[in-house]
């Protein structure tokens, strides 16, 4: 996720900017850059790679000045490269902009500005803004920014400078975080508090639709119409390492709480609300290709494989195309039956998992079209696949995948709905209902996150157990597999997930008094059968935690405790049931005193076979 810094004061700004960017490194990035007001006007330096690359360039030819903006880029539009790095400028080098977020209507703006003679050099959405500012400038930077921002759709946090108004910086927040640090004779902009914590603890936190104008001697807050806003300063009393985690104790907990945003970002610009349509402009697959598909294979590892299991049911039920899912390390060696009418979907958060990458190459070798669902622009999987559908979850730092997994589910819903629309395999009314329910998911996740204290108490009770079972049917079985993996990988409690109907074929022998069984019962068509399975374990004195949908299954006589997820369509339930299961794993791990973010024996990116 991109990081923004800004400084205006008396110090050498490049040092303050680099220092701030270093504090934002934890957000993940692939390139960095700064723009500084120097005696030559507005000068920019930017470079692909680690901050050290930019730092060494600045060491050999420094930008001398006391005001500037800086950025670490986590590529979204356009691969990581020097030219795609921020800051971006207009053709006259008058405006410089850094941006975090996605400008959804950038292509339309780019066309309009190109027609007026603006020349674009990068593939980014951000560059349109520097040209737009140049196009709209009316003698006041603040007014021009207000006008420009009103033309943007999407999520953005911005810092802007203009060569002829060198005594001010302008910052805007619209759905991407931004804070202002207030000092003595100096002021700061940051995507996050750590960026400024070495200099000040006095912070204004901007809300959506607000902007700040920073000079050396003050900060003015206003709305996008220029109305002044008065706000109390927030005084930070955390230390730096806590601040990097946004006030959360662990990255995993932070990432669990980032899921509403990850859902919104992954859906952003891909749903035409008026037309009830999914727009996946990034895919080149034409309608005739989609109609010609005979089968789909979904291939991935670990948590991404579990997302693929959900994806399989979603795509099969919406399109009636036969779908198989495979663990990549098996798929690559099983000589899969593939032809040019097979679509192989590889799923990988990192885009670097060795087995998934090998499976992708194998599928291409057999002539299949490969579509990647990944979170990392410029990753090997993204580069080698024929088609890419990015999840916009932002960098995931905890080894245990949470927001990347749930964003993969969102990607599968979008893809399934798109394929179904192209094949006319679902009635328009049903598609509209699903699209409507999909859009409600982010706020339903917010609601679910409120249950954290109750889940914490449950997890503390589970933490003392040596074994836990997860059961479910249909999509609940796929969700149970992910819940079980999450629990075992960070709590080290032995845990297994079973198709509920399968228990009595062997595993029921392990159920005895007090053994925790987490029973997912959100799939209403399968409820009767599921309740019978819950009764089977209850009859053996298991401790049953039921997970049901509001207004759904009544487990009063067979569960010891019940967690409810907000009501949604059964197909979408895994995107909600994931949340309590992640929290359960997190708090169980915490209660056992484990290193939650770095579980033993595991790595974030598995680049070996």
Least distance from ligand M6R to the Cβ atom of residue 358, Å? 12
Report the nearest approach of ligand M6R to the CB of residue 302 (Å).
2
Alpha carbon of 497 to those of 486, 546, 562, 589: distances in Å?
11, 14, 18, 18
Q: Which residue is nearest to ligand M6R (CB)?
A: 302
598 is catalytic: no
Report if residue 400 touches ligand M6R, rule: CB under 6 A: yes
Which of 342, 356 has the CB closer to ligand M6R? Answer: 356
Minimum distance from residue 84 beta carbon to ligand M6R (Å): 23
The answer to whether residue 401 forms part of the interface with ligand M6R (CB under 6 A) is yes
Q: Do the beta carbons of residue 399 and residue 604 sit within 8 Å?
A: yes
Distance of closest approach, residue 305 Cβ to ligand M6R, in angstroms = 8
Question: Using N-to-C axis directions, what is the helix angle for 428-449 and 574-591, rounded to 10°?
Answer: 20
Cα–Cα dist 548/536, whole Å: 18
Q: Which two tokens stand for residue 271?
A: 């749903």
- Judged by beta carbon, residue 80 or residue 302, the one nearer ligand M6R is 302
Map tokens 């299991």 to a residue: 309
CA atoms of 479 and 576, how far apart (whole Å): 10
CA atoms within 13 A on the CB side of 574: 33
Report whether 520 contacts 478 (CB < 8 A). no
Nearer to ligand M6R, 43 or 258 (CB): 258
User: Under rule CB under 6 A, which residues in 333-362 are in contact with ligand M6R?
Assistant: 348-350, 353, 356
Q: Given the complex with ligand M6R, which of 266 and 303 has the nearer CB atom?
A: 303
The CA distance from 105 to 82, in Å, is 24
Set 151, 277, 456, 604: catalytic member: 604
Distance CA 47, CA 552 (A): 54
Instruction: Tally the residues of the chain.
Output: 609
Site for ligand M6R in 559-598 (CB under 6 A): none
- Closer of 126 and 259 to ligand M6R (Cβ): 259
Q: Out of 93, 358, 437, 606, which residue is the one contacting ligand M6R (CB under 6 A)?
A: 606
Binding residues for ligand M6R, how many (CB under 6 A)? Answer: 16
Nearest CB to ligand M6R, comparing residues 75 and 503: 75
Residues 6+ apart with CB under 8 A from 121: 83, 127
Do residues 477 and 497 touch, judged by C-beta distance below 8 A? yes
Which residues in the 287-326 window bind ligand M6R by CB under 6 A?
301-304
Q: Return the residue of 113, 293, 399, 463 that touches ligand M6R, per CB under 6 A.
A: 399
Is the CB of 290 or the CB of 398 nearer to ligand M6R?
Answer: 398
| Binding window for ligand M6R (CB under 6 A); candidates: 18-26, 132-140, 211-219, 600-608 | 600-608
CA 351, CA 257: separation in Å to the nearest integer?
23
Nearest Cα neighbor of 469 from 526, 524, 520, 532 is: 520
- x/- mask, ligand M6R, residues 176-215, rule CB under 6 A, reads ----------------------------------------
Active site residue 604: yes
Which of 79, 75, 82, 130 is closest to 100 using CA atoms? 75
Task: Answer whether 76's CB lies under 8 Å from 102's CB.
Answer: yes
* Catalytic residue positions, numbered: 2, 604
Residues forming contacts to ligand M6R in the complex (CB under 6 A) are 301-304, 348-350, 353, 356, 399-401, 489, 602, 605-606
């Amino acid at each position: 996720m991109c990081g923004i810094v800004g400084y205006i004061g008396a110090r050498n700004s490049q040092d303050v900017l680099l220092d701030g960017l270093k504090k934002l490194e934890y957000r993940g990035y692939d390139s960095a850059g700064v723009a500084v007001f120097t005696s030559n006007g507005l000068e920019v330096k930017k470079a692909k790679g680690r901050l050290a690359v930019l730092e060494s360039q600045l060491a050999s030819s420094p930008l001398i000045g006391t005001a500037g903006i800086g950025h670490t880029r986590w590529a979204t539009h356009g691969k990581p490269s020097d030219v795609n790095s921020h800051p971006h400028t207009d053709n006259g080098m008058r405006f410089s902009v850094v941006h975090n977020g996605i400008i959804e209507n950038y292509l339309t703006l780019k066309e309009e500005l190109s027609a007026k003679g603006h020349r674009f050099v990068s593939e980014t959405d951000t560059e349109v803004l520097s040209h737009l500012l140049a196009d709209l400038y009316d003698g006041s930077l603040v007014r021009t920014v207000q006008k420009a921002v009103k033309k943007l759709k999407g999520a953005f946090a911005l810092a802007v400078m203009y060569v002829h108004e060198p005594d001010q910086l302008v910052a805007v927040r619209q759905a991407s975080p931004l804070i202002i640090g207030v000092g003595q004779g100096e002021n700061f902009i940051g995507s996050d508090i750590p960026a400024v914590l070495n200099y000040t603890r006095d912070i204004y936190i901007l809300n959506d639709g607000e902007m700040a104008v920073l000079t050396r001697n003050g900060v003015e807050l206003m709305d996008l119409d220029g109305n002044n806003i008065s706000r109390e300063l927030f005084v930070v009393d955390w230390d730096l390492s806590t601040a990097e985690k946004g006030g959360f104790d662990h990255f995993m907990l932070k990432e669990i709480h980032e899921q509403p945003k990850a859902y919104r970002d992954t859906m952003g610009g891909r749903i035409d609300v008026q037309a009830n349509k999914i727009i996946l402009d990034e895919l080149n697959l034409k309608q005739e290709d989609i109609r010609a598909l005979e089968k789909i294979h979904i291939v991935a590892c670990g948590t991404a494989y579990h997302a693929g299991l959900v994806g399989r049911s979603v795509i099969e039920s919406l399109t009636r195309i036969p779908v198989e899912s495979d663990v990549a390390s098996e798929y690559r060696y099983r000589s899969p039956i593939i032809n040019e009418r097979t679509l192989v979907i590889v799923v990988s958060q990192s885009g670097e998992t060795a087995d998934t990458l090998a499976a992708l190459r194998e599928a291409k070798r057999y002539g299949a079209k490969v579509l990647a669902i990944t979170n990392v622009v410029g990753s090997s999987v993204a580069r080698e696949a024929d088609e890419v559908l990015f999840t916009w979850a932002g960098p995931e730092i905890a080894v245990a995948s949470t927001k990347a997994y749930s964003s993969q589910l969102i990607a599968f819903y979008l893809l399934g709905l798109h394929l179904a629309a192209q094949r006319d395999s679902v009635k328009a009314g049903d598609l509209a209902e699903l699209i409507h329910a999909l859009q409600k998911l982010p706020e339903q996740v917010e609601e679910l996150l409120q249950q954290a204290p109750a889940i914490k108490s449950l997890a503390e009770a589970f933490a003392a157990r040596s074994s836990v079972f997860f059961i479910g049917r249909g999509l609940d079985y796929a969700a149970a597999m992910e819940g079980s993996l999450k629990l075992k990988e960070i709590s080290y409690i032995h845990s297994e997930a079973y198709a509920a109907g399968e228990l009595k074929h062997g595993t029921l022998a392990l159920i005895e008094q007090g053994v925790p069984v987490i029973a997912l019962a959100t799939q209403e068509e399968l409820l009767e059968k599921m309740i019978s399975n819950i009764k089977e374990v209850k009859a053996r004195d298991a401790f049953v935690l039921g997970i049901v949908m509001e207004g759904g299954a009544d487990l009063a006589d067979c569960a010891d405790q019940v967690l409810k997820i907000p009501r949604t369509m059964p197909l979408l339930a895994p995107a909600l049931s994931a949340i309590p299961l992640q929290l359960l794993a997190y708090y169980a791990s915490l209660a056992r005193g484990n290193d939650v973010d770095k579980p033993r024996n595991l790595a974030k990116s598995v680049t070996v076979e």
